[in-house]
Every structure is written in structure tokens, then in C-alpha cells.
Amino acid sequence: MIKINGVELPDDALIADGLDKAIIGYKEGKVVYDYDACVQVFMADNDWNFEDAIEWMEFNVVGAYVGPRTPLFEQKAKCRQHYFDETGHCFECDAVEPEADYQARLDVEDKN
């Protein structure tokens, strides 16, 4: 067994390169990643905007099948179907848009 990001995984677990910080679990013989955390990793590591990171994530990561142990990418409960205001908050359920989440974190890091 190995432990990555606080999650115990079997030695033969199929792990996505560079996304260790986004691992949130292991189920059905597959490593589980937080989709939004993966997008944030791609944005930070490659200096990409939100749209570029989503495009990369969908085509090259989520769309890649590497056998029966292909990792799972799950989105935490965030609004994907409502309308967001200029601050990145949903009018319907007060969810925060992922890009606004990311920008808020960057603003805090810049102040430190």
C-alpha cells in the first residue's frame, strides 16, 4: 500500500501524472480524483485560463481510457446548471464558480 494525499492506495493503482494533490479516494479498484482540483492544477502548472484547462481535462484526461483501472474524475457538489453573477456566485444556490474559486485563492496567496 502507498499513501498519496492522505488516501491509501494499492501499489498497483493507476495514478495520473502530476495530479496527486487532487486524489480524494479509491473505489471499485480505481483512483478517484476531484475534477475541479485537477483543473486548478492544470491552470497553475501551465499558466492556462479556465477554458483551456477544462478543454485539456475533458479531451486528454477524462476522455482517455487506459484500461479497466482508468481513474475516476468526480465533481464535488458545485453548481453546473445555474447562472452566475459577476462575482462568480450562483443566483440559485450560492455555489461558487470554479474559476472564481481559483482566482480568490490566488488573491489570498498574493497578499501573503
pTM of this structure: 0.68
Residue written as grid cell 473505489? 27
Domain ranges of the chain: 1-76, 77-112
What is the rounded CA–CA span in Å between residue 15 and residue 19? 8
> String of b and e for 16-27 (b: at least 16 CB within 10 Å)?
beebeebbbbbe
Backbone angles phi, psi at 58, to 5 degrees: -70, -45
Instruction: Find the farthest-apart pair of alpha carbons in the chain and give their distance in angstroms, rounded.
Output: 45
pLDDT along the chain (112 residues), means of 10: 93 94 94 91 92 92 93 73 60 61 58 59
